[in-house]
Every structure is written in C-alpha cells, then in structure tokens.
Homo-oligomer: A and B are copies of this chain.
C-alpha cells in the first residue's frame, strides 16, 4: 500500500515551516553544464539553515505536533545533520530537544547540536543502541520521538525543496536527488510528480551503499548493513514508508563510485565556489558519469548539504591537519 502523502501535505508543510527555513537559491554553471552535457539547476540546500535540507523535515515534524505532544520536547537519534535540525526546530518552538548520538559522531556534529540548544546523549555506535537509548529517553522524559526519515511529516517537509525548485525552474525534465534513508527522495518525488507528471525523478546513491537501488530492483526492502562510503549522509538504509513512496514515484536509482564522488565534490567547490558535502556530490558524480540519461535535458540537482570538516577534505585524505 502506498502511504498517504500528497502534494497538499507538502504545500501545507511549506506554509508551516516557511518562517523558520531559508528559501535557498537555484544556481547554474555553464562549465558544469558542458561537463555533464545537460542544463543543470542546482537547488542549494547547502545554504539551508543548519547547513542541510534536514531543517525542512525537522521543522515540519516539530511544528505538526499538538501542544500536548510537544509539551515535553522531542527526542531523536542522529550521527549528523538531522540532530542539529531537530535541535534548531525545537528551539524555534521553544521546547527541549534530546539528541542521541553515537560516540563515533564527528566533534563538529556534536557541537552543532549543542549550539542549537540540543541536549546530547552519547550511545554505542550501533543502530540497536541508538534506538534503545532514544526509547529510554522518551520513556523518562515524555519527549516525542522524531524519526530521521521514516515519518510522513518529515518526508513532507523534505519535499518542500522540490516546490521551490519547480517554481524557479518549471521546465525541468529530470530531478536527481541523493538517497540514504530516502526521506528527501520520496518527498521530492511526491511533490515533483504531482506538479509535473511527465518529469523523471532519479535517486543517486554511493555504489558502496546501494541498498536503495537493490531494493527498488528487487521489489522488496533490502537493508544496506553498515556501508563504508565517504558520503556519510547516505549510509542509512531505506525505511518502510520511504521505500513504498520510492516504489510508487521514483523512476530509477543510479550509483556513483567513491572516487567519482570526491572528484565531483571538488569540481563543484572549484567551479561554483560553493561548499558541498560528499553526499551532495553524489548526484553530480552520477550526472558527470552519464548515469541517468540526461543529455540535452534540463536537470534539477538537489545539493543536499554543506557540512564538511575543513581539516579532513577527502581529496587530501590521509593528511592530518596542520598543528596549531
């Protein structure tokens, strides 16, 4: 059964979150167009608040709660951008946020959560420990759990970037969007297909974390285990809701290799002069490799985030930072 998520839900989400999020720009680059053989429209969610699209879904989830549901705050687990987004959304609503993070999470991510007023609880770096710790905190505090992607209000929020993109570039033939847990891809697909039925919506994921492609082709949810990829935002496996929506609305899922992801990331920095994280480079890498057939087409590309540890750039891998 296809989960009940419609364009109307996404429009309502957009109205709900508009005061708290940024309307990010759509950028173009003739140099990248030449390299890709297509006309690219980059939706710059790297400029979104908290540095990633996650602010959209988190705000919609937090502001969709009733006063009673919200009263004791929200709790989530995250190794990165979703935690910061929930912390900011909770602050926007004036309620506490409890964020469970694995001990292995990057310092920069932990301090981002803290900067937005989130209360960090560390846990073991396993899915089981994340979930059980979040459950325990929910039980102790009465906080409402906000899943990073397997939640229709989160998915509706993530879909709002497609509304803005198609307002500014209504003639798109294709949208290519990163896929990890699938919240963004499924929301974008619902919005884009409703606004423009002929459009193709394509997910892009690391070849090293290709559970979405395998799931779509097998017609059943295949877990990705614990994939090793530079695209740290795309290591999650699809959820049941996101998978069902992707099956219904997404045309294809393509992959990109690790070297191609790093090359694409660096090219975007050099040519467009913007900072994107590895996950955001995945659709660019796929387009430069001609993975989705896009020759001569108008292609929307979701640049999903820009949170990067400047001491550990992947093309300088193995180089420790300078002392001091």
Which chain A residues have a beta carbon within 8 Å of chain B's beta carbons? Answer: 25, 46-47, 51, 266, 269-270, 272-276, 306, 308, 310-311, 313, 315-322
Tell me if B315 and A321 are in contact (CB < 8 A).
yes
Tell me if B311 and A315 are in contact (CB < 8 A).
yes
Q: How far is the CA of A317 from the CA of B321 in the complex (A)?
A: 8
Tell me if A46 and B316 are in contact (CB < 8 A).
no
Tell me if A321 and B311 are in contact (CB < 8 A).
no
Please pick, from B273, B311, B318, B320, the residue contacting A51 in the complex, using a CB distance under 8 A: B273
Residue of B nearest to A273 (CB): B306
Interface of chain A: mostly helix, strand, loop or mixed: loop
**Of listed A46, A273, A318, residue having the most chain B CB within 10 A:** A273
Tell me if A46 and B273 are in contact (CB < 8 A).
yes
Please pick, from B270, B308, B318, B322, the residue contacting A318 in the complex, using a CB distance under 8 A: B322
A312 CB to nearest chain B CB (Å) = 10
A273 CB to nearest chain B CB (Å) = 4
- Number of copies of this kind of chain in the complex: 2
Q: How far is the CA of A276 from the CA of B310 in the complex (A)?
A: 14
Assuming the contacts A25-B25, A266-B310, asked whether A47 and B315 have C-beta atoms less than 8 A apart, the reply is no
B residues near A273, Cβ cutoff 8 Å: 46-47, 51, 274-276, 306
Please pick, from B270, B274, B321, the residue contacting A310 in the complex, using a CB distance under 8 A: B270
Assuming the contacts A46-B273, A274-B275, A275-B269, asked whether A322 and B319 have C-beta atoms less than 8 A apart, the reply is yes
A281 CB to nearest chain B CB (Å) = 13
Task: Report 22 cross-chain contacts, Cβ distance below 8 Å, ordered by A residue.
Answer: A46-B273, A47-B273, A51-B273, A266-B310, A270-B275, A270-B310, A273-B274, A273-B275, A273-B276, A273-B306, A274-B275, A275-B275, A310-B315, A311-B315, A311-B316, A313-B313, A313-B316, A315-B321, A315-B322, A316-B319, A319-B319, A319-B320
Residue of B nearest to A52 (CB): B273
Q: How far is the CA of A210 from the CA of B80 in the complex (A)?
A: 43
Q: Told that A269-B275, A310-B313, A316-B319 touch, could you supply 16 new A-B pairs with CB distance under 8 A?
A: A25-B25, A47-B273, A270-B275, A270-B308, A270-B310, A273-B274, A273-B275, A273-B276, A273-B306, A274-B274, A275-B275, A311-B315, A315-B321, A316-B321, A317-B322, A319-B319
